[in-house]
Amino acid sequence: MFPIVEAEFLAPDVKRFVIEAPRVAKKRRAGQFLILRLHDHGERIPLTIADSDPERGTVTIIVQGVGKTTKLLNMLGAGDAILDLVGPLGSPSHVEPFGTVVVIGGGLGAAIAYPTAKAMKEAGNHVVSIVGARTKELVILEREIGAISDELLITTDDGSYARKGFVTGVLAELIESGRRLDLVLAIGPPRMMQAVAETTRPRGIKTVVSLNSLMVDGTGMCGGCRVLTNAGARFACVDGPEFDAHEVDFDMLVRRNRTYLQNESESLKRFLEDPTRDLERVRESCHLEQRHPEVRREASRS
């Protein structure tokens, strides 16, 4: 069981959690993720680790309430606990002094890009961050990303804050300005990452993306997270989550991520009609776990 020690909303439905997980905190490096499960009937979902504090023994995740499990998670707060949390999973970001690194975060992608941007800065890179959001109130981590970036450029789709437009527009301008860009790191919705890849491809600028494919175990066992690259099928959970953007088949990623759309919306609908049952399950699971580890297994799946 993994206690939540801090929880705060960064934007509507976007919440930052600090969770006690000493082993994960100690080991985690930028670019890695964890998998958690909230109760005995819950699903396992992967979430990027935004930050960690090895001394305090905590990891930070930033969660956008999109589906059932993330919405349920966002109802929890300090004092609650996560039933199962495993990590750090995936390969860490490849960080070295490249020169000028452009880090692009679209929507929640900003939270996922942040740890790698920070590591890139610490490695001596000139970091240009581009943060894109649909609208002003969804711009997250502006202060944090600003603090570790040499330049911070913000766009909103509706123009309600900073520049109106998409992240690719800003990126295209940077490229056209003739500046030398040594690496572009893009994290966000698959179609955004694909657009970034197409923007940098003609100039041959090395571009890395972090892929959010469907996963179950996260250790390479199930093969559900397979993504197609020039080198054939790869498992995002162990070979990734970061891949060369110019080699990824984004259409396949988008297609496979649609596998359970119907189930996901059914699950969400049921949950929103009555969230209390799942909340009780969370509390019950964690309560039992704390009291007596083997009781949980007996109580499950009744």
Partner 1 sequence: MSAETTDPATPAVPPSKKDRMKIPRQHMPEQDPARRRRNFEEVNQGLTVLGAATEALRCLSCANPKCTAGCPVGVKVKDFVDLIVAGDYLGAAAKIREDNILPAITGRVCPQETQCEGCCILGNKFEPLGVGYLERFVADYERETGQVGLPERAPATGRRVAIVGSGPAGLSAAGDLVRMGHEVTVFEALHEIGGVLVYGIPEFRLPKEIVRHEVDAMRKMGVDFQTNVVIGKTVTIDELMGEEGYDAVFVATGAGLPKFLGVPGEHLNGVYSANEFLTRVNLMRADAFPESDEPVYDCRDRDVAVVGGGNTAMDAVRTASRLGAATSHLVYRRSEAEMPARAEELKHAKDEGISLMCLTNPVAFLGDEDGFVSGMRCVRMELGEPDASGRRSPKEVPGSEFEIPIQVAVIALGTSANPLIQSTTPDLQTTRKGYIAADPETLRTSKPGVFAGGDIVTGGATVILAMGAGRKAAASIHEFLSTGVWDATAAETPS
Q: Considering only residues 91 through 150, tell me which ones interact with partner 1, judged by CB under 8 A.
A: none
- Strands 45-48 and 183-187 come out as unpaired
* Min CB(150)–partner 1 separation in Å: 32
Instruction: Identify the residue among 27, 136, 163, 283 touching partner 1 (CB under 8 A).
Output: 27
Q: Which is nearer to partner 1, 180 or 301 (CB)?
A: 301
In this complex, which beta carbon is closest to partner 1, that of residue 87 or of residue 115?
Answer: 87
Binding residue for partner 1, selected from 172, 175, 216, 279, defined by CB under 8 A: 216
- Tell me if 89 contacts partner 1 by CB under 8 A: yes
Among the listed residues 5, 172, 222, 279, the single contact to partner 1 using CB under 8 A = 222
- When binding is defined by CB under 8 A, the residue of 221, 231, 272, 290 that contacts partner 1 is 221
Count of residues binding partner 1 (CB under 8 A)?
A: 47
Per-residue x/- track, 234-273, partner 1 (CB under 8 A): ----x-------------x--xx-xxx-xxx-xx--x---
The alpha carbon of 32 is separated from its chain's Cα centroid by a whole number of angstroms, namely 9
263: Cβ–Cβ under 8 A, 6 or more apart, which residues?
none
Question: Closest distance between partner 1 and the C-beta of residue 252, in Å?
Answer: 6
Does 75 bind partner 1 (CB under 8 A)? Our answer is: no
Q: Does residue number 224 form part of the binding site for partner 1 (CB under 8 A)?
A: yes
The Cα–Cα gap between 226 and 214 comes to: 8
Does 284 help bind partner 1 (rule: CB under 8 A)? no
Q: Which is nearer to partner 1, 179 or 277 (CB)?
A: 277
**Does 217 interact with partner 1 (rule: CB under 8 A)?**
yes
Angstrom distance (rounded) from CA 150 to CA 283: 44
Q: What is the DSSP string of 180-209?
A: ---EEEEESSHHHHHHHHHHHGGGT--EEE
Residue reference for tokens 């003739």 = 178
How many angstroms separate the first and last alpha carbons of the chain? 21
How many angstroms separate the CA atoms of 139 and 148, rounded?
A: 16
| Residue span binding partner 1 (CB under 8 A) among the ranges 130-138, 193-201, 202-210, 226-234 | 226-234
Helices in the chain by DSSP H: which ranges? Answer: 22-27, 68-73, 109-122, 142-148, 167-176, 190-200, 250-257, 261-273, 276-291, 293-299
Candidates 84, 137, 157, 182; binder of partner 1 (CB under 8 A) is 84
Closest CA relative to residue 84, chosen from 21, 135, 168: 21
43 lies in the site for partner 1, by CB under 8 A: yes
Tokens 């909230």 sit on residue: 38
Angle between helices 250-257 and 190-200 (to 10 degrees): 180
Question: Cβ of residue 125: shortest distance to partner 1, in angstroms?
Answer: 26
The contact set with partner 1 (CB under 8 A) reads 23-24, 27, 37, 41-44, 68-69, 83-89, 216-224, 226, 228, 233, 238, 252, 255-256, 258-260, 262-264, 266-267, 270, 293-294, 297-298, 301
